[in-house]
């Protein structure tokens, strides 16, 4: 390339188009391709192409570093240059960069692959797009007769990975059609984070233990596998995306498999498994029938035979398998038969009403008797949320380990956002609200938020009642309506949750009732697409958060709210009281006491000093340390510890015979000893007393 060609137009800040773009319009979504080449004269040639699904705009340039700069500094300055050019271009045109593909041709790719000093800065460019511009980045090897052609190809490639009919950066979830393995982060092409980002957010003892256990897994060549029903929607899927992302950065062989969806089966697993276990229904129509059992077992076994069974190279190669929910637990006997030496951990992630499950003849008793007796009892460990009442009968406590749910501090749900990002997602939310006939968020008013699936257990009618009572209290204090905060009720859906639409429609009907209708103009009820950043921005922009679940396992939305320094008002349900320090990081109210919730809201809203005390406490190093156990690195230590302790290599007959029976009063730890667990936190076994959280 003999000279630079600059083709991106940058509009003047005062131009009519600029001013018009800054009104309430949502920024136009564009997708970028960036192609980089390192030439013989030591210069970096680069080109960028933006694509909106209809046309390309291109830019090309040459970066000529100073001759005395080391290569790493040269690439750092190149990163600065590219980021600044595309930032100015997007800002001046009111464009939103949703995704970016960064790559090079095969020749440059070989140079990069063989030069660590080149590889890391290029990956760093990806992470800067993620953190600085909120654009989801990926890396590919590109082909073309010129850099511009390569950049255009990259832009089209990243466009194809997203769902552009919705304004946001929602990558398609890829699943291998042969094995139903979830191909996390665009089959590893997406690169948002490096290990040092996780290290910077993790305390040293936990980080050191993570590296130690990861190295042991690699040395022993252990293969860890997770199984559940769906790759998107709900807390299990959110955790697994983050877990696999970190495990890959650590070099640990960890994979995640999901079942092929069947809506008829999901009606059974949601309404006759999940809802019955939580005790949110006592209607006899939801008692599990024989035809339900037959359909569910057939679905599980077909998934096993078609995707994970003999000859598939999945279960037969596994050392440790984690069953992440009851929905696919009917495959456990087949796992045992195909690979007797693998260790199986069952993770119970919902609130199981053990009191009801202990009553012979109850729906909960019969359901648990069916699942435990035929399937779950054949596992080696039972992982439960840390609430004794969640552990159902007939589970030997010596086989139980306690582990709370986790979220990821660096993914789209929790990463830091600029004021511009938050404003963008507010406008996106308002478009979604308008499409659903709901009022949007008014920019100059605060709002209270509950983020949750539209589920019978989430206490959404209680939220509405408490909010309306709170509004009446503010009126009694003399505050005008335009000084009152709004209410936002929103959440994602999930393919395995048939209750979402039903509960959503019930809430809409509720707002039409006379006692609530006068407040309906300030209540935003919206079912949102699966955009993590959208939820993150809504939570960051809120005044405080509610979680009025009547039944709850361990609500990661509470963790996410607290980590953003938002006080949480919640019911004393399930595992929530373990997450909130009453009066310090949030306020706990007895289940069903909507007036108590309204009183708590009124004090937080009208007493500035009282509210600030919560915020100040949430910002302390002490609280940050406590939250560590609810984030991905800490959770990964738990899983790696269990894997290294439980697993043993070898499939010969002698090894299989040495495996203890499954009803032992303890757990075989892989080194010839039986260790008593006695329902302790998993963390207690690997943490030193000096660094316990």
CATH of the domain at 665: 3.40.50.2000
Which pLDDT band holds residue 14 (cuts at 50, 70, 90)?
Answer: low
pLDDT at 13: 54
**Residue 102 structure tokens:** 């960064």
Residue pointed to by tokens 């003892």: 205
pLDDT at 667: 36
Phi, psi angles (nearest 5°) of residue 430? -65, -35
Alpha carbon 545 to its chain's center? 18
How far apart CA 527 and CA 146 sit, in angstroms, is 44
Q: Assess if residue 267 is contained within a domain.
A: no
Which of 597, 629, 661 finishes a domain?
A: 629
Which pLDDT band holds residue 660 (cuts at 50, 70, 90)?
Answer: very low
Domain extent for 52: 16-172
Contact assessment for residue 529 and residue 432, using Cβ atoms and an 8 Å cutoff: yes
Sign of CA dihedral 492, 185, 83, 146: negative
Clarify whether residues 25 and 116 are in a common domain: yes
Neighbour tally for 652: CB within 10 Å: 8
Identify the helix (H) or strand (E) that includes residue 238.
helix 235-250
Neighbour tally for 456: CB within 10 Å: 20
SS3 of residue 472 by DSSP: helix
Q: Starting at the edge strand that comes first in sequence, how are the strands of the sheet with 447-451 ordered?
A: 523-528, 486-492, 447-451, 544-547, 568-571, 586-589
Contact assessment for residue 499 and residue 454, using Cβ atoms and an 8 Å cutoff: yes
pLDDT at 370: 96
Q: Assess if residue 279 is contained within a domain.
A: no
Q: Assess if residue 97 is contained within a domain.
A: yes
DSSP-derived letter for residue 199 is H
- Does residue 656 carry a pLDDT above 80? no
CA-based nearest residue to 412, from 568, 500, 258, 539: 539
Which pLDDT band holds residue 9 (cuts at 50, 70, 90)?
Answer: confident
pLDDT in tens, 65-88: 776 777 777 778 888 889 999 999
Which pLDDT band holds residue 332 (cuts at 50, 70, 90)?
Answer: very high
Contact assessment for residue 681 and residue 402, using Cβ atoms and an 8 Å cutoff: yes
Q: Starting at the edge strand that comes first in sequence, how are the strands of the sheet with 381-384 ordered?
A: 253-258, 223-228, 320-323, 343-348, 381-384, 400-402, 680-681
pLDDT at 651: 41
What does DSSP say about strands 667-668 and 674-675: parallel, antiparallel, or unpaired? antiparallel
pLDDT at 652: 39
Q: Assess if residue 85 is contained within a domain.
A: yes
- Does residue 168 carry a pLDDT above 70? no
Alpha carbon 689 to its chain's center? 30
Clarify whether residues 484 and 613 are in a common domain: yes
Q: Please tell me the total count of domains within the chain.
A: 3
Pure H helices in 140-234: 147-160, 184-187, 195-200, 204-220
Which residues are 51's β-sheet partners?
A: 31, 56
Cα-based angle 101, 105, 108 (whole degrees, multiple of 5): 110
From the number of C-beta atoms within 10 Å of its C-beta (0-12, 13-18, 19+), residue 444 rates as exposed
Find the CATH number of the domain harbouring 133.
3.30.420.60
- Does residue 584 carry a pLDDT above 70? yes
pLDDT at 16: 58
Which residues are 345's β-sheet partners?
A: 322, 381
CA atoms in the 13 A half-sphere facing the CB of 124: 17
N-terminal to C-terminal alpha carbon distance within the chain: 57
Contacts 24+ apart (CB under 8 A), 114-123: 115/71, 117/70, 117/71, 117/72, 118/38, 118/71, 118/75, 120/72, 120/194, 121/72, 121/75, 121/76, 121/78, 121/79, 122/36, 122/75, 123/191, 123/194
Alpha carbon 352 to its chain's center? 23
Clarify whether residues 297 and 316 are in a common domain: yes
Clarify whether residues 643 and 614 are in a common domain: no
Clarify whether residues 361 and 241 are in a common domain: yes
pLDDT in tens, 197-206: 999 999 999 9
Phi, psi angles (nearest 5°) of residue 539? -70, -40
SS3 of residue 53 by DSSP: coil
Q: Assess if residue 492 is contained within a domain.
A: yes
Neighbour tally for 301: CB within 10 Å: 15
How far apart CA 655 and CA 646 sit, in angstroms, is 13
How far apart CA 583 and CA 574 sit, in angstroms, is 19
Query: Alpha-carbon dihedral of residues 670, 673, 674, 678, nearest 10 degrees?
Result: -90
Which of 116, 137, 172 finishes a domain?
A: 172
Clarify whether residues 643 and 623 are in a common domain: no
Greater confidence (138 vs 661) lies with 138
pLDDT at 61: 86
pLDDT at 362: 93
**Residue 233 structure tokens:** 């929607």
DSSP-derived letter for residue 5 is B
The overall longest dimension of the chain from CA atoms, in Å, is 83
pLDDT at 661: 38
Phi, psi angles (nearest 5°) of residue 262? -135, 105
Clarify whether residues 542 and 527 are in a common domain: yes
**Mean pLDDT value of segment 619-631:** 94
Which residues are 589's β-sheet partners?
A: 571
CA-based nearest residue to 646, from 671, 621, 623: 671
**Mean pLDDT value of segment 436-454:** 93
**Mean pLDDT value of segment 34-63:** 85
> Mean pLDDT, the chain, as a whole number?
87
Clarify whether residues 352 and 241 are in a common domain: yes
Clarify whether residues 252 and 331 are in a common domain: yes
- Does residue 169 carry a pLDDT above 70? no
**Mean pLDDT value of segment 537-561:** 93
pLDDT at 664: 32
How far apart CA 343 and CA 397 sit, in angstroms, is 18
Pure H helices in 628-663: 632-646, 653-658
Which of 629, 650, 671 finishes a domain?
A: 629
Residue pointed to by tokens 């495990």: 247
From the number of C-beta atoms within 10 Å of its C-beta (0-12, 13-18, 19+), residue 575 rates as buried
Q: Assess if residue 94 is contained within a domain.
A: yes
CA-based nearest residue to 428, from 324, 288, 533, 294: 533
**Mean pLDDT value of segment 652-661:** 40
Q: How big is the chain, counted in residues?
A: 693
Q: What region does 478 belong to: left with phi over 0, alpha with psi -120 to 50, or beta?
A: left
Of 103-107, 172-176, 392-396, 465-469, where does the model show the most confidence? 465-469
Indicate the pTM of the whole model: 0.90
- Does residue 2 carry a pLDDT above 50? no
- Does residue 663 carry a pLDDT above 60? no
Query: Alpha-carbon dihedral of residues 610, 615, 620, 626, nearest 10 degrees?
Result: 110
**Residue 144 structure tokens:** 């073309």
Clarify whether residues 500 and 613 are in a common domain: yes
Clarify whether residues 470 and 362 are in a common domain: no
**Mean pLDDT value of segment 510-534:** 92
Identify the helix (H) or strand (E) that includes residue 80.
helix 71-93
- Does residue 196 carry a pLDDT above 60? yes
pLDDT at 488: 97
Q: Assess if residue 507 is contained within a domain.
A: yes
pLDDT in tens, 93-146: 889 999 999 988 777 777 666 766 666 667 888 999 999 999 999 998 888 888
**Mean pLDDT value of segment 225-233:** 91
Clarify whether residues 637 and 624 are in a common domain: no
Q: Assess if residue 186 is contained within a domain.
A: no
The answer to which of 37-46, 135-144, 304-313, 392-401 has the lowest mean pLDDT is 37-46
From the number of C-beta atoms within 10 Å of its C-beta (0-12, 13-18, 19+), residue 224 rates as buried
How far apart CA 155 and CA 163 sit, in angstroms, is 14
**Residue 472 structure tokens:** 């009446």
pLDDT at 675: 42
Which residues are 5's β-sheet partners?
A: 60
The 3-state secondary structure of 564-620 reads CCCCEEEECCCCHHHHCCECCCEEEECCCCHHHHHHHHHHHHHCHHHHHHHHHHHCC
């Amino acid at each position: 390339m003999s000279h630079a060609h600059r083709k991106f137009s940058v509009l003047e800040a005062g131009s009519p188009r600029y001013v018009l773009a800054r009104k309430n319009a949502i920024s136009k979504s564009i997708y970028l391709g960036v192609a980089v080449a390192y030439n013989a004269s030591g210069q970096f040639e680069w080109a960028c192409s933006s694509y909106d699904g209809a046309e390309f705009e291109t830019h090309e340039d040459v970066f000529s570093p100073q001759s005395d700069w080391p290569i790493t500094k040269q690439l750092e300055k190149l990163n600065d240059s590219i980021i600044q050019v595309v930032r100015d271009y997007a800002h001046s045109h009111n464009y939103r960069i949703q995704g970016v593909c960064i790559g090079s041709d095969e020749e440059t790719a070989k140079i990069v692959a063989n030069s660590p000093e080149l590889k890391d800065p290029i990956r760093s460019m990806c992470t800067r797009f993620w953190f600085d511009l909120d654009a989801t980045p990926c890396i590919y090897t590109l082909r073309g007769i010129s850099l511009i052609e390569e950049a255009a190809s990259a832009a089209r490639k990243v466009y194809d990975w997203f769902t552009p009919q919705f304004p946001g950066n929602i990558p398609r979830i890829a699943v291998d059609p042969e094995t139903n393995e979830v191909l996390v982060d665009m089959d590893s092409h997406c690169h948002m984070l490096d290990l040092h980002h996780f290290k910077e957010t993790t305390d040293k003892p936990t980080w050191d233990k993570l590296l130690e256990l990861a190295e042991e897994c690699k040395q022993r060549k252990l293969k860890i596998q997770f199984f559940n029903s769906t790759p998107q929607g709900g807390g299990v899927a959110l955790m697994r995306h983050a877990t696999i992302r970190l495990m890959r950065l650590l070099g640990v062989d960890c994979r995640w498999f999901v079942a092929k969806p069947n809506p008829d089966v999901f009606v059974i697993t949601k309404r006759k498994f999940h809802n019955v276990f939580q005790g949110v229904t006592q209607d006899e129509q939801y008692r599990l029938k024989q035809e339900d059992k037959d359909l569910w077992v057939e679905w599980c076994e077909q998934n096993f035979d078609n995707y994970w069974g003999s000859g598939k190279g999945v279960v037969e190669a596994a050392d440790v398998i984690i069953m992440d929910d009851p929905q696919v637990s009917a495959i456990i006997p087949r796992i045992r038969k195909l690979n007797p030496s693998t260790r199986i951990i069952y993770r119970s992630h919902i609130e199981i009403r053990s009191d009801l499950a202990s009553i012979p003849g109850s729906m909960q008793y019969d359901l648990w008797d069916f699942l435990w007796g035929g399937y779950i009892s054949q596992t080696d460990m039972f992982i439960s949320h840390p609430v004794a009442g969640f552990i159902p009968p007939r589970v030997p406590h010596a086989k139980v380990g306690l582990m709370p749910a986790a979220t990821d501090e660096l993914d789209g749900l929790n990463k830091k956002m600029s004021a511009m990002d938050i404003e963008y997602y507010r406008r996106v939310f308002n478009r979604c609200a308008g499409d659903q006939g709901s009022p949007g968020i008014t920019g100059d008013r605060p709002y209270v938020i509950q983020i949750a699936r539209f589920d019978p257990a989430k206490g959404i009618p209680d939220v509405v009642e408490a909010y309306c009572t709170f509004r009446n209290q503010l009126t009694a204090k003399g505050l005008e309506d335009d000084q009152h905060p709004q209410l936002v009720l929103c959440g994602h859906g999930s393919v395995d949750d048939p209750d979402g639409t039903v509960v959503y429609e019930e809430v809409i009907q509720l707002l039409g009732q006379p006692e609530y209708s006068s407040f309906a103009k300030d209540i935003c009820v919206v079912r949102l697409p699966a955009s993590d950043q959208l939820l993150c921005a809504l939570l960051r922009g809120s005044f405080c958060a509610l979680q009025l679940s009547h039944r709850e396992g361990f609500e990661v939305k509470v963790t996410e709210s607290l980590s953003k320094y938002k006080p949480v008002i919640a019911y004393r349900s399930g595992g929530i009281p373990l997450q909130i320090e009453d009066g310090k990081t949030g306020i706990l109210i007895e289940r069903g006491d909507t007036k108590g919730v309204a009183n708590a809201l009124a004090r937080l809203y009208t007493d500035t000093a009282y509210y600030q005390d919560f915020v100040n406490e949430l910002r302390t190093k002490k609280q940050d340390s406590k939250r560590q156990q609810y984030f991905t690195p800490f959770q990964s230590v738990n899983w790696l510890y269990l894997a290294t302790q439980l697993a043993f290599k070898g499939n010969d007959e002698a090894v299989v015979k040495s495996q203890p029976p499954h009803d032992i009063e303890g757990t075989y730890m892989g080194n010839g000893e039986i260790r008593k667990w006695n329902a302790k936190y998993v963390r207690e076994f690997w943490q030193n007393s000096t660094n316990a959280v």
